[in-house]
């Protein structure tokens, strides 16, 4: 089960970290200038963080998926990025639905707590799900899903090197862009190294060895992965310095701002303003 889970995780990461060579051939959205996509989609994402009502958040989520669909993107890549949202969102938002965190009208009674005080906190007589708490949890879930969808559309529609060059064109410091580029390039390599270490251990094990030995092996595996990553980082840094790397991102394509790019930015700004007006 662990082996299948690790293999599935590496497979999902491979899809998400795809270099996007076909992004420019998948539809009109892939041909929009990277700077225009950054300005447009990030403006909508920022507007999403200020929304308070469920309707505009649901509208933003639907618009992100519609943009991916009509833009000719790989929907599997966008959907896989959204898989990470439910687990983290539920873990963070679930406590807000209870009356011990958010007061409101009880909707569902879960258990009897007895009331009283626990230190400086007052314990209610019953643990319930409140209407206000459910609204707060749903708003958090929708906002997270909308933001992740917008970021996924941006990543799926842009080649990584074009995206990093667009960031530099918008004035982002070269050091930040270089770290992001290295992280994207070698995260898949580190995941595959972790998979190889785990599979090597499984191929040399005949049965269970106890919890203590498993914990010792896990610690040793993390140490070996760190040594591998450090060796790769040092080798890559020396190779980059020897080839005159200056921290600037260079691509074969020279981006040119066209009227389609300006229209895309204007449309995103108008949509973000409409979302803010709806609240």
Q: pLDDT tens digits, residue range 147-160?
A: 888 888 887 788 77
Q: List helix spans (H) across the chain.
A: 2-16, 34-48, 54-70, 75-82, 84-93, 131-156, 160-169, 174-203, 211-242, 259-278
Q: What is the pTM of this model?
A: 0.71
Cβ proximity of 157 and 73 under 8 Å: yes
Q: pLDDT tens digits, residue range 35-81?
A: 888 888 889 999 998 988 989 999 998 898 888 888 777 777 667 66
């Amino acid at each position: 089960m662990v082996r299948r889970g690790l293999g599935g995780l590496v497979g999902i990461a491979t899809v998400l970290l795809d270099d996007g060579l076909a992004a420019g051939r998948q539809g009109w959205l892939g041909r929009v200038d990277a700077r225009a996509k950054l300005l447009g989609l990030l403006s909508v994402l920022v507007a999403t963080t200020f929304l308070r009502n469920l309707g505009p958040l649901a509208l933003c989520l639907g618009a992100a998926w519609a943009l991916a669909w009509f833009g000719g993107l790989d929907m599997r890549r966008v959907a896989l990025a959204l898989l990470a949202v439910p687990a983290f969102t539920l873990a963070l938002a679930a406590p807000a639905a209870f009356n011990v965190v958010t007061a409101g009208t009880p909707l569902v009674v879960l258990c009897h707590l007895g009331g009283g005080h626990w230190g400086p906190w007052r314990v209610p007589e019953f643990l319930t799900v409140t209407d206000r708490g459910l609204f707060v949890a749903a708003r958090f879930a929708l906002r997270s899903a909308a933001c992740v969808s917008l970021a996924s559309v941006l990543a799926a529609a842009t080649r990584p090197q074009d995206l990093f060059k667009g960031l530099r064109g918008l004035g982002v410091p070269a050091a930040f862009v270089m770290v992001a580029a290295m992280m994207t390039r070698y995260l898949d390599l580190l995941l595959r190294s972790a998979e190889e270490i785990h599979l090597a251990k499984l191929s040399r094990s005949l049965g269970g060895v106890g919890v203590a030995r498993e914990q010792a092996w896990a610690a040793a595996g993390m140490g070996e992965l760190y040594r591998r990553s450090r060796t790769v980082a040092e080798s890559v840094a020396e190779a980059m310095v020897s080839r005159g790397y200056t921290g600037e991102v260079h691509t074969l394509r020279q981006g040119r701002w066209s009227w389609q790019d300006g229209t895309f930015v204007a449309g995103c700004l108008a949509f973000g303003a409409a979302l803010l007006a709806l609240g």
